[in-house]
Structure 1
Amino acid sequence: MVTSNIFHCRKHSWPPEEYINRATLQLFDFDSAAPPETAWRRRLNSHANYLKEFSVTFREAIKMVSLGIRLWSYVREEASHGRKAPIDPFTRESCKPSASQGVPLGGMGSGCISRGFRGEFRQWQIVPGICEPSPVMANQFSIFISRDGGHKNYASVLAPGQHEGLGKAGDQGISSWGWNLSGQHSTYHALFPRAWTIYDGEPDPELKISCRQISPFIPHNYKDSSLPAAVFVYTLVNTGKERAKVSLLFTWANSIGGNSHLSGDHVNEPFIGKDGVGGVLLHHKQVIKP
């Protein structure tokens, strides 16, 4: 277990005007792209506090000796069959627990992928009983902007580059992407089941960007509320005098968390629906361990 005093604060509200320019809020009012008055807010350049591990006293440890022995035997039994125990307090996770979470993706009881307030997709709970806390850094939104006939160009991943998942072994060159966002003028706003990320002049000072995230959570409708789905809606407002050509890119590894995208034999297949909407089907081959 982990503990932290990150939420121990006298201030119980985060007025949007303290995080976003009032003029920017008014620009997004027409498309419901502005965050609500009541929300949990963070700047993208703020760093998440690492959480302290829970400790027990000597007397508590003595009382739990029998439980510890039973748990140790269970962990070893699972390991002998090539499985990872859902509860394993004897092994340290490679990803330190931190207060970096945002609003999770997906419906109720359908598995979950959390998204950190800085834009990373983490806390993968697709396989029952198993949680992969580390972010998959290939899963990102990126933007490309061209102005003045191509003489003024901006390109960046829409997340700040100070991530613990960058520069590590196996990042497949992702650290060489254009992590040009400082996050100083970008903010995250959470009110379950929605979340808003506002880029107030980043990376282009004359372009305002709003990303809305929503998962199905419908009152008195448990069927649709359990859909394993999430929607991201982007609203862009050009405040410059010249036209801007903007492209959005979404990259997603064929993964269910951890290093599963490196296991091989996965297949990606393009499709076009009856209504003309196109997409990509990710066929993931998971090794089932008995």
Structure 2
Amino acid sequence: MILEEVFPRKGSEGLVVSIGIPSVKTGKWSFPSAKLYRRGDLQFADVTIQESEREQLSRTLAEKIVTVYQPYLIQRLVKKRYFYFTEAEQKEIDMIAESYQKRRSWQELLEQRLNEFLKKNNVIHLDGFVRFRMEEYLRELEHTVDKAAEDYLIDREYREFIGMLTCLTEIQPCLIEQVHVKLTESGDYGIFDGEYRLVVSEEVAVSFDSLSREDLLLSRLITLSPHEIIVHRKQEITNKELLNTMINVFGKKVRFCEECSFCH
């Protein structure tokens, strides 16, 4: 949306609002019909509107802050708070933070505050407005960036973990052609061979207390390194992360069954 479309010019009469435009590279501020000029290091756009168009101007500026300025604010926060990350890592955090922030738009509150401000002022610098009149908005952006960085690190550690397990499966010799995995009545994950007999695997120097049931299952599957893993009654396995990990590590070797006699 550009201001020329919102406020078509019919003449020079009306209220002149001077808008200080932040210099950003995340999008364009479109003021094709405005008078553009610089005041020191700042660029301004003079927009002529009627009194009845003040709310529409506030709405347009709020939209521009969210769509054009917000990505820049997030980038700036990431560079400031996580300067020790590589540029590629910072970009990933940027994208995660942007996706989170889209879930909650501040546009309505921005519009309300802008409208209140423009009722008393004909000059507004958008960067200063956001800094000093929308402090809660900036605080949420900070929390969003921190959450994005935390989730990025968790995801990176998970990917490294998956990569390590995948390497283990590639070097481990196949000890059994096919296994069946099913949640037993005791709540453990049972591993059965192609004849549906319980597989007893030797765990060297590893006790049941030192591993979770999920870790123990993955450890046994990697040790056995089967060519086919059939998971029965998937809906009973509430740990969906376990299922995702199995798929990520073993790939096409994993398939799911819901209908056979062993499922019931």
TM-score for both structures, normalised by structure 2:
0.23
Larger Rg: 2
TM-score for both structures, normalised by structure 1:
0.21
Q: Per residue, is there more helix in 1 or in 2?
A: 2
Q: Per residue, is there more strand in 1 or in 2?
A: 1
Relative contact order higher in (CA < 8 Å, ≥ 6 apart): 1
